Structures are given as structure tokens and as C-alpha cells.
Structure 1
């Protein structure tokens, strides 16, 4: 029986956990993680050069003979460009420089930057035929976000529809950035964030002392709100058996 997409992802995540200590080079990362991701997870035949071209070369005009690690093909056209770094290396915009150059000289609408564990997905939302500086989606095999799974599934060979992926990318890009901002505010609320809540519930003047008090109150409220949300989810997931279950309040 064929494995579900999420099972294939989780199998690769398990393999990553087993082999990561041995991955000292980019080549080892490509062989152990990136090729299995293309083959087992996305369903491309890595041994068929009409589907996957390793060491893909395009004339970028400025730097001749520069290569991108892989190009995924469909109907003879480049669809996705992939640049790899070794496992453990942090992905930066500097690493994406080759992808930036190649993006403009091929007809690819999608690009992936990866270190075998993290996969950043890019397109050209900001300007046509020019790769965005920020990814619209990130997949981390060491911490799989359930919301990312159906979006990555759209890139599988059997489901691939470039217009559908690019169409959803705009919303995803901003959705993920807002989620990141919310996460940062929950950990360490900025003054503007605190002021927003304080001005809704407090009618007096927001002096420095009041703002300091509201920073503490807002931080506590956010933590309690998260705890309450988790408790509600647990109760609904486990039914009435768990009605007495409470997560200790750490605030």
C-alpha cells in the first residue's frame, strides 16, 4: 500500500534524526536527504534527466558556468530550481544568490533553498520573473508544521500545478509572517502591541509607570490565553473524561 504524503515526510524526518551526525558535507546532505526528498516525498524520478537535472547550468550573463544543484522539469521546461547547502548550515539570502540569478534566466516560477532539514520555498510575488527575497513557505523536517504539509504536497509530481502553487503563495507568505510576528509578540510584547490593548481597557493617561504595568499584565494575559486555548483543545479532543485536566499556570 502506498504511503500517505505525511507518512513519507515523517519517514524522511526519522531518517534525518538517524543520519544527521554523519553529514559533514553538502554532497552527503544531498545524497542522504535532498534526493530522498525529491524522490520519495515529491515523487520525482531522480535518475531520469528529463525530470531531475543535477548540476543544472544556465547562462546567467554575469557568471558563466555557474550551477544550481537541481532543476525539476515538466514537459521540457524548468519548473523548480533547487540550491542545497550542507546539513546544519543556516540558510541565508547570501545562499540564495545563485537562485536569484538563475530565476531570471529560466522560466521557473519556484525555487527551493535547503540544507536537507529546512526547505525554503520562493516564487516571484513582488516582481515578475524576479525571485522574492523572502520565502512564502518553510518546511522544517525537525519540527514539521501541520499547516505546511498540504502546501508542500501541491509540489508533488502527481499534483503539481504551478499556477495553483503561485496563487496560494501570496496568502501563505503574509500568513506565515503574521504568525511569526504574533509568536514574537507573545514572547516579548513590543510597546505598540501593549499600547493597543491598554488603550482598549484603560481610560487614563498611559504614563511610563502605567505602560510598565500593562507590559506585565499583557504578557500574563497572553500566556493565560494560550494555556486556556490548549486546555480547550485537549478537552474537545479527549472529551468529558478530561474535564478536570488543567495545565498548570506558569504565569
Structure 2
């Protein structure tokens, strides 16, 4: 009987010791390893390029966010004689007094219809044309990009004007030769001309300038540029 009792007590003590040992092992089990992120790493990630769209309120000398009138260091034009601003599909500057002789159609698959308008009467003299500008941002220097814009020319009722011959685009950065592109409007009146501009980035930020030229020197004309969402891609 004593033997049985001793064995029973011994087995109980052994079980308690085993349970205590398992509890300690569970409590000391290591936590899963979490890799830390090295914020000083030299690894490079691709930047997503972006250009401000022409979405904004209409009005003369009124511009979408991050757009403005461009005035070169020499030969700046008179803002009264050569105005610029934001127009609608039906009216110059969105002004009900200045409707287009023929309204423009909306650019397909775009959620807004406002665009920038410039005036011109010269192919050579900057002081006889208005210009607008913005910055193309988040570029990778040395990379190639495709920028899609739409250009048009229309006639406002009640004003003496002709159709512009071409839109003029300059993409530049200080210290480098500007990349220049023309959009032919000769056979495209009262309609949008889609232009895909291929250019190489020379800096993380580059200036985009838009102006226009008439068919003949001295002819007064209006031209428009529309920039939609996701207008620029890297390729």
C-alpha cells in the first residue's frame, strides 16, 4: 500500500514538473522576426510623372491650379491687347457675351471641358502673342516621356479674328536647349487636334509653355490647349 502511494505521489510530482517546464517554454517562445525598413537605402523607386490639367473656372486672366501667364524676360506682350485665360466649349473666357461662332466638342473620356486660351498676331515677335505655362513634375532625368495634349482654334462672334495656323509648345529647363514642338491647325478648324509629344526629361521638373502663331503676320487669332487627367506617361 505504501509502495502504491509513493508511486502515485512520485508520478504526480513528475507531471507537475513537466507542466511547469512546458509553461516556461511557451512563455519564452521567440516573437516572429520583423524586417526593418532602411530609410537611408540607395534603392531607387520610379516616380510617377504629373502635369496639371486645365480643369478650372473660366475667365480672362483666370487660370487652372498651377497654371499662369508666361512673360519672357524680353518682349512680354500687353495683357490687354493679347489676353489669356480659361475658356469653355461655347464661350471665350466663359463669357456669355463672346460665344464661339461654332462650339467645340468635348474631348472624349475627360470629366471636364475647360481649357486655356491664348491670343496671337505674329509668328516672330513674342510681344505680339500671349503665352501660358505650368511645370511638368516628378520626372526622372534621362527618361523618355509621352505627353498627350489637345490643341484647337476657334472664332469668337463679334470679334475680328482668323484661325491660328499652329500651336507652339516648348518644354525646357534652365541651362538646357528647349525642346520645341508645333501642332498644325491648317486643316483643323473648330476641332481638337490630338498631339502626343515625345520628349526626354533633363530634370525632375520641366517648364511647359504654350503659345500660337497666325497663318500670316498681323492676323489676330485665338488658340486653345486642353490637358486631361493622366496626360503624361513614361516609356
User: When the two structures are superposed, what TM-score results if normalisation uses the length of structure 1?
Assistant: 0.29
Which protein has greater RCO, CA pairs closer than 8 Å, 6+ apart? 2
Larger Rg: 2
Bigger strand share: 2
